[in-house]
Amino acid sequence: MPVNRSVFITGAAAGIGRATALTFARNGYLVGGYDIDVAGLGSLATEISALGGKSVVGHLDVTDHDEMAQRLGEFADAAGGRLNVMVNNAGILRAGRFEEIDISAQLTEIDINTKGVVNGLHAAFPYLRATPNPVVVNLASASAIYGQPELATYSATKFFVRGITEALDIEWNRYGIRVIDMWPLYVHTAMTDSIKTGTTESRQVMRQVHFPVGAQTKVSALSARLPLWLQRLLTKRVAGM
Ligand SMILES: NC(=O)c1ccc[n+]([C@@H]2O[C@H](COP(=O)([O-])OP(=O)(O)OC[C@H]3O[C@@H](n4cnc5c(N)ncnc54)[C@H](O)[C@@H]3O)[C@@H](O)[C@H]2O)c1
């Protein structure tokens, strides 16, 4: 299979990141799979080889900017200096009543879900800029539509991802870099295995930036056109609160 395009994926060892890595590999991309779970990356690399694809995998903690810059540099070298797609996927979720979730767990969640994305965007920029028509895909969530009870901090981190996506899609237009985000609701991965909470655009933009995933999120996204008081009421209803 000829490799002519490259994709760098954070949090690639499991869940959505792993499925994304395999999909890109099937489509002939050189896949850069990075994660803190090195064993999971090993089995990903084996699976990609079995498909006839090509990958580079390695340890990366997205909260460490120096490591992010080093891994992106190494990957870009392997890909001939190009980076066609950057997927900022790594994220964690802590669910429960805000006051009952340990503060250090919440601060770690903020570090991974927000600073990890800033690190990825900043370190990827020179390689994206050097590539024709590159795309950045940030994993936001349906919980970036309206703040979700029992997922308050998680939800707030996804509003951060939504905001930085909107801003950079405009700011980096001058370089031809597209920046979009995905809004899945619940995808059956390790992240959502043990989660039990009450909950499961009208924008004047020239092109689509947010990609609601699944019918329920599409309906929720439409609710963003409703007045805030009605969004709040509907969210309370869905959360059973
Ligand atoms: N699963 C869902 O329902 C859902 C819904 C909306 C959005 N999302 C978002 O999609 C993304 C992926 O979620 P998932 O369900 O596949 O999760 P997952 O838990 O299945 O996989 C997350 C991966 O990220 C890795 N990771 C965790 N901390 C890391 C760090 N500091 N540095 C590098 N890698 C790290 C984990 O090792 C794991 O391999 C997340 O950003 C999540 O918020 C998921």
pLDDT single digits (tens) 62-92: 999 999 999 999 999 999 999 999 999 999 9
The pLDDT score that the predictor gives to residue 3 is 52
The reply to whether 159 and 215 lie within a common domain is no
How much distance in Å is there from the Cα of 44 to the middle of ligand 1? Answer: 15
The pLDDT score that the predictor gives to residue 204 is 42
Pick the last residue of a domain from 173, 188, 203.
203
**138, containing H or E segment:** strand 135-139
pLDDT band at 40; cut points 50, 70, 90: very high
The reply to whether 112 and 225 lie within a common domain is no
Stated pTM of the model: 0.91
Overall number of domains in the chain: 2
The reply to whether 241 and 124 lie within a common domain is no
- Amino acid (1-letter code) at residue 75: F
The reply to whether 82 and 134 lie within a common domain is yes
Listing DSSP states for 150-211 in one string gives T-HHHHHHHHHHHHHHHHHHHHGGGGT-EEEEEE-S---SHHHHT---S-------SS--EE
What mean pLDDT is predicted for residues 193-215?
Answer: 69
pLDDT band at 131; cut points 50, 70, 90: very high
The reply to whether 104 and 61 lie within a common domain is yes
Show the domain range for 145: 5-203
**How far apart are alpha carbons 182 and 46 in whole angstroms?**
27
The reply to whether 50 and 147 lie within a common domain is yes
pLDDT band at 192; cut points 50, 70, 90: confident
The reply to whether 9 and 94 lie within a common domain is yes
| Catalytic residue list contains 154 | yes
The reply to whether 233 and 184 lie within a common domain is no
Here the CATH number for the domain that contains residue 71 is 3.40.50.720
Q: Which of 32-46, 199-213, 222-236 has the lowest mean pLDDT?
A: 199-213
The reply to whether 188 and 214 lie within a common domain is no
Overall residue count recorded for the chain in this entry = 241
The reply to whether 67 and 87 lie within a common domain is yes
The reply to whether 70 and 173 lie within a common domain is yes
Residues within 6 Å of ligand 1 by CB: 10-11, 13-17, 35-37, 40, 60-63, 89-93, 112, 139, 141, 184, 186-187, 189-192
- In the set 29, 34, 127, 154, the catalytic residue is 154
pLDDT band at 206; cut points 50, 70, 90: low
pLDDT band at 199; cut points 50, 70, 90: low
The reply to whether 26 and 90 lie within a common domain is yes
